[in-house]
């Protein structure tokens, strides 16, 4: 399945090109309910978190080919000192939602469904927000090195679906219980629910850490799109100068 890496000029132009190149438009046209999942781990602005302008460009493409679809932007922030709705407000998503007439959802407080998969050795059961099971999910991370997972991409971005009520582990982060054997946790979580479509904002890139530090210099200047999240993340790893074969959750298809 095709993975597209396009040069970044503007979100509007580059997003439309990336989605067209992977044949996303007819797929989006057939969806009733679309959930856009940015990476808003904290209230720090882009490029630590996904820019609302990036998500707006996705909304515009969806609306152009499917004006009747319900669109939701959903996240469950990882920082327990930051309420997700407050993060939406700080980063401009509340204004975006009002302008585009879409709903914002806090994945940390959504109704849950207990799921089981004995093939998942790290997470033989998982409490999944029910909204993840009724929507077409577009995962929209930013390109970053990750201090624990080596990189954060579209597969790691799905950790936002882990509810703190079950996965805080009493730690300093809402998803801290998953940080042990993290590579396995990322893989298992995506066995329960993968993104249906992935769009990695690699227009800038974070070179040292997922929470701050040095930005890529020069900026990476790309957007990555694709339906296969493993292939998308392998391409993203290459843009960071990383060998995906050394990243546990990317070694084999999920």
| Residue 51 near residue 201, CB atoms below 8 Å | yes
Q: What is the pLDDT of residues 39-90, one digit of tens each?
A: 999 999 999 999 999 999 999 999 999 999 999 999 999 988 889 999 999 9
pLDDT at 2 over 90: no
Strand partners, 128: 113
Q: Which residue has the tokens 């929507």?
A: 135
Q: What is the mean pLDDT of the chain?
A: 95
Q: Alpha-carbon distance 49 to 75, whole Å?
A: 11
Coil vs helix vs strand at 50: coil
- Count Cβ atoms within 10 A of the Cβ of residue 204 and give its class: 0-12 exposed, 13-18 middle, 19 or more buried: buried
pLDDT tens-digit series, residues 219-241: 999 999 999 999 999 999 999 99
What pLDDT is recorded for position 151? Answer: 94
pLDDT confidence of residue 149? 87
How many Å from the N-terminal Cα to the C-terminal Cα in the chain? 15
Task: Identify the pLDDT of residue 210.
Answer: 85
Cα separations in angstroms, 240 against 14, 22, 203: 20, 22, 12
| pLDDT reported for residue 1 | 60
């Amino acid at each position: 399945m095709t993975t597209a890496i396009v040069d970044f000029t503007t979100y509007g132009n580059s997003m439309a090109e990336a989605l067209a190149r992977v044949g996303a438009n007819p797929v989006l046209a057939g969806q009733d309910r679309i959930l856009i999942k940015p990476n808003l781990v904290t209230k720090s602005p882009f490029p630590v978190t996904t820019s609302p302008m990036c998500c707006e460009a996705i909304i515009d493409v969806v609306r152009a080919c499917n004006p009747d679809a319900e669109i939701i932007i959903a996240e469950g922030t990882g920082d327990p000192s930051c309420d997700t709705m407050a993060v939406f407000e700080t980063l401009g998503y509340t204004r975006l939602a009002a302008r585009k007439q879409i709903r914002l959802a806090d994945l940390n407080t959504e109704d849950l469904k207990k799921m089981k998969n004995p093939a998942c050795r790290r997470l033989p059961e998982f409490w999944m927000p029910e909204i993840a099971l009724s929507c077409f999910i577009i995962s929209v991370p930013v390109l970053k090195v990750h201090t624990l997972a080596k990189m954060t991409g579209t597969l790691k971005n799905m950790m936002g679906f882990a509810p703190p009520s079950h996965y805080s582990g009493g730690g300093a982060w809402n998803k801290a219980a998953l940080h042990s054997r993290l590579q396995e946790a990322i893989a298992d979580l995506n066995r329960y629910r993968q993104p249906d479509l992935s769009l990695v904002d690699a227009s800038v890139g974070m070179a040292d850490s997922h929470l701050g530090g040095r930005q890529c210099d020069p900026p990476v200047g790309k957007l990555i799109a694709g339906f296969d999240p493993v292939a998308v993340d392998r391409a993203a790893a290459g843009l960071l100068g990383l060998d995906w074969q050394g990243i546990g959750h990317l070694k084999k298809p999920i």
